[in-house]
Amino acid sequence: MLFAVCVKVQHTQTFIAFFGLIRKKKCASHDPQKSFAILVAAHNEEQVIGALLENLKTLDYPKELYDVFVIADNCSDNTAQISNRHGVRAFERHDLSKRGKGFGIEWMLRELWKLSRSYDAVVMFDADNLVAQDYLIHMNNDLCNGSRVIQAYLDTKNPHDSWITSAYAVSYWYCNRLWQLARTNLGLANYLGGTGMCFESKLLKEIGLGATSLVEDLEFTMRCVKRGIYPTFNYDARVYDEKPLTFRASWNQRLRWMQGHFDVARRYFFPLLWQGLKERSWAKLDTALYALNVYTVLITGSVTAILYVDMLLPGTPSLTSIYLHIPLVMLALGFLSVIQFPIAMILEKAPLRIVKSLISLPIYLISWYPLTFYAFFTQNNKQWSHTQHTRVIRIDEVQKQAS
């Protein structure tokens, strides 16, 4: 029964993805009026933070309406000094007992509220990011149109560096178009992606970030949806994120994500499920199922592995698969699940040179199964693992590469 539920959850996304094939008309535009505090989370990022700060200084938005602050969180390098040299105030935090991005942001918000100047919204980036020039224009429009929590389009700034960065790029195009945009078109809640996020200051003061797990973005998404506040997605606001160059670094990063996902699923799945059923809220039910997704990967992956082992053992297989009972249906669903990735690449006008990554993409996708299995047994690990960034790329290079 549980396996059947997981299969249904897995293929629900296949159905939802169809609603990402089209883009609706843009919402109303507004003159710049909202003020922003831009927070840059940094832990030993002296190699890359300069490029981001240069980028943020040139955003196409009135300079008097935004300020940039760097959270130099438990840094042992020159991150704070480099920030100050760029004319950006760095707030240095030293607390080894509370390590991780969520703790750093919570601390920084308390410092921000103490300042004499107040801001309409708070934007959060990672130190390795780069930002499209019109980012704040889109955030201003969404805030004026009523959004309280906004997620930008997350792209990859180094998709051609290795096969693993190419795999990340493809999966991000897929998620932006067929997960996020599809949910926007359906009026469901969107998901925060850890960076490129914009929050109404009033909301943060009311409820706090309150997210210090290994996946603070997912945790805050759940907190918002539980309160009836649905994050929105801005397809046109682009943020470029640096991806790990090696499979090992990717494994460590994704392991942290899955460990945190198990933690969040345990705490939010049932409350959101009951609320969704009681209120007949499709948005809350969809978010609850998203929380369950980590268990879906775990269970379907484990059952599939057991079935393959049973088939390889001598003699007649003692277990039967659901695929044997409705082969055409399952074959069609499997085909649709796979074809979504090249469809997303076409819709997002991916560079032609990235097409070759489809050959190695299955390795990246399949690796989620053993990774999730391992994360399940190590989910009590709360230690933050830092991904080192050393690839210095500037926004003009990213835009030239994309064109």
DSSP secondary structure letters along 41-84: EESS-TTTHHHHHHHHHT-SS-GGGEEEEEEEES--SSHHHHHH
CA dihedral angle for residue 156, residue 292, residue 232, residue 20, rounded to 10 degrees: 70
At 325 the pLDDT is: 63
DSSP string covering 312-331, please?
HSSSS-S---HHHHSHHHHH
What is the distance between the terminal CA atoms of the chain, rounded to a whole angstrom? 48
229: number of Cβ within 10 Å: 17
**Distance separating alpha carbons of residues 201 and 124, to the nearest angstrom:** 12
At 330 the pLDDT is: 66
At 384 the pLDDT is: 63
Residue 36 tokens read as 């922003």
At 327 the pLDDT is: 64
At 100 the pLDDT is: 79
What are the structural domain ranges in the chain?
A: 2-17+264-377, 35-246
In the chain, the amino acid numbered 349 is: K
pLDDT tens for the 403 residues of the chain, in order? 333 444 445 557 778 888 999 888 777 899 999 999 999 999 999 889 999 999 999 999 999 999 999 999 998 889 999 999 999 999 999 988 788 788 889 999 999 999 999 999 999 999 999 999 999 999 999 999 999 999 999 999 999 999 999 999 999 999 999 999 999 999 999 999 989 999 999 999 988 777 667 788 899 999 999 999 999 999 999 999 999 999 999 999 999 999 999 999 999 999 999 999 999 999 999 999 999 999 988 988 888 787 777 677 776 767 666 666 666 766 777 777 788 999 999 999 988 888 888 888 999 999 999 999 999 998 887 666 666 766 677 777 776 666 5
Residue partners of 194: CB distance under 8 A and separation at least 6: 101, 126, 215, 216, 217
Residue 250 tokens read as 């990717």
At 4 the pLDDT is: 41
At 6 the pLDDT is: 44
pTM over 0.95, yes/no: no
At 319 the pLDDT is: 64
What is the CATH class of 35-246?
alpha beta
At 321 the pLDDT is: 65
SS3 361: helix
Residues 13-46: b if buried by 16+ CB within 10 A, e if exposed? bbebbeebeeeeeeeeeeebebbbbbbbbbbbbb
55: number of Cβ within 10 Å: 21
At 389 the pLDDT is: 67
